[in-house]
Chains A and B, each alone.
Chain A
Amino acid sequence: MTSFRALRSDFLAYGTGYLLSLALTLGAFSVAYYRLAAPEVSLAVILVLGFVQIIVHMRCFLHLSWQRSAQSDLMLVLFSTLIIALMVGGTLIIFFNLRMRMM
């Protein structure tokens, strides 16, 4: 049988993940709704909050960690993130460069 402790830590993972995500979502939406800062600052805050929330989801809901049995999944995700960063970053750099030249 699954030990009580393991279940408790699983439930805590989902619970803290949910609460943290709620807090981060509320934070991001209130920055936009109440216009708490200048547009550029707001955008930066929203993107940072979104990034933190993705990490929370990965850790608490998708159970990625440095533990041995989740390590290959985590490595795959990190490698995919690198590929994605190269592709999306490269696309954006090239197109913004083109746009600058056309102005």
Chain B
Amino acid sequence: MPRISEPELLHTGLNLDNYPPARLAQVESGVFGFWVFLMSDAVIFALLFGVFGTMIYASVAGAPTPDSEFKISATFRETMALLSSSFTYGLVSLSLKLGARRRWVALWLAVTFLLGAYFLDGEAHDFIDMFHVGAAPEHSGALSAFFVLVGTHGLHVTSGMIWILLMGAQMAIYGLDERVKINFIRLGLFWHFLDVVWVCIFSVVYLRGIVS
């Protein structure tokens, strides 16, 4: 087969160099299917952003908003944790592509998990603090929208962490065979996607609230 007609991009995480083209197409359509799921998730988040946007500016009768309760240092620490976890997951993918030993993959996977846990812990503390000062979801439309939007993201991170544990189990049971590697690619897309959503959240929700 001439070199020029081969797919150029190899998904990090798989050594696809010596794959037959038919198998390669199958892997790619599997990854594409996961992209379709991610985009349906993106629509959910986008509409929650839309609701938040209407609520935060259109609330009437002096109802409380979440803006006054944001703490920039906590948000910054959570952001750094999630961003770094995206990078360490990149190291998981690279270890897989390098054909590294399982313990390297497990190490970076564990670091990713811990950073995710640190993020969720910070977010839970933020929520509890807000409840303590009376900024609960039932007090205004803006607060309801805030908790639904940020809470949905938190639930996604939680499910991503459960998925990380499951991938650790799959790796322990099956080794690093092709199916497991493709699942690692899907988890990677999910995890990096959650970081993209968080970029929107800290820009549109937290930093907007702090500057205005």
Contacts and interface: CB of A to CB of B under 8 A. Distances in A.
B162 to A, nearest CB: 21
B199 to A, nearest CB: 5
A77 B57 contact: no
Contact of A69 (B7, B51, B98, B203): B7
Interface in B83-128: 83-84, 86-87, 90-91, 93-94, 97-99
B46 A87 contact: yes
Contact of A46 (B9, B31, B211): B211
B187 to A, nearest CB: 13
Contacts of A3: 17
Contacts of B49: 88
Contacts of A98: 58
B72 to A, nearest CB: 6
B8 interface: yes
A67 B9 CA distance: 7
A52 to B, nearest CB: 10
Interface residues of A, number: 53
Contacts of B11: 63
Nearest to A81: B42
B210 to A, nearest CB: 5
A62 B9 CA distance: 12
Contact of B192 (A28, A32, A62): A62
B212 A39 contact: yes
A39 B211 contact: yes
B97 A91 contact: no
A76 B39 CA distance: 8
Contact of A61 (B17, B86, B202): B86
B155 interface: no
The 7 closest A-B CB pairs, nearest first, are A50-B203, A69-B7, A14-B90, A80-B39, A95-B54, A84-B46, A61-B192
Given A62-B189, A68-B7, 13 more contacts: A2-B98, A7-B97, A18-B90, A31-B211, A43-B207, A57-B195, A63-B11, A73-B35, A76-B35, A80-B43, A87-B46, A87-B50, A99-B58
Interface of A: 1-3, 6-7, 10-11, 14, 17-18, 21-22, 25, 28-29, 31-33, 35, 39, 42-43, 46-47, 49-50, 53-54, 57-58, 61-63, 65, 67-70, 72-73, 76-77, 80, 83-84, 87-88, 91-92, 95-96, 98-99
